[in-house]
């Protein structure tokens, strides 16, 4: 963006707004905007689980299991995964369980 009070021949370097300044202004406006709702915050939430946290339950499921045993194991794995998404470490998950 260019200061409109100057003609294009008289542009000074300090009158130019850089992309970084624009981003900072945008972030500042987002922080100062207090008219946000919980639904808007939820819609912006993103969950990314690092690959290092993925631990398949194949070792625990090895051998002959009944369907109910396998489903219980699967439910336990889902619970563990959701706790990892919340940012808990393995020791904290064991303490929770």
Q: Who's near 96: CB < 8 A, 6+ residues apart?
A: 83, 88
Rounded to 5 degrees, φ, ψ at 71 are: -65, -40
Q: Is the pLDDT of residue 17 over 70?
A: yes
Confidence (pLDDT) at 28: 92
Confidence (pLDDT) at 13: 59
Q: Who's near 93: CB < 8 A, 6+ residues apart?
A: 80, 83, 84
Q: Which pTM was predicted? A: 0.38
**59 within 8 A of 68, measured Cβ to Cβ:** no
Percent of the chain with pLDDT over 70: 71
User: What tens digit of pLDDT does each residue of 66-93 get?
Assistant: 888 888 888 888 888 888 888 788 888 8
The three-state DSSP-derived secondary structure of 5-66 is: CCCHHHCCHHHCCCHHHHHHHHHHHHHHCCCCCHHHHHHHCCCCCCHHHCCCCCCCCCCCCC
The angle formed by the CA atoms of residues 40, 43 and 48, to the nearest 5 degrees, is 140
Q: How confident is the model at residue 2 (pLDDT cuts 50, 70, 90)?
A: very low
> Mean pLDDT, to the nearest integer, of 40-60?
68
Q: Is the pLDDT of residue 10 over 90?
A: no
């Amino acid at each position: 963006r260019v200061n409109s009070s100057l003609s294009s021949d008289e542009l000074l370097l300090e009158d130019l707004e850089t992309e970084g300044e624009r981003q900072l202004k945008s972030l500042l406006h987002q922080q100062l905007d207090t008219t946000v709702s919980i639904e808007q915050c939820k819609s912006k939430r993103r969950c990314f689980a690092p690959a290092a946290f993925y631990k398949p339950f194949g070792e625990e499921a090895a051998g002959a299991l009944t369907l109910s045993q396998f489903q219980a194991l699967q439910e336990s794995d889902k619970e563990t995964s959701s706790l990892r998404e919340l940012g808990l470490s393995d020791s904290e998950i064991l303490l929770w369980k």
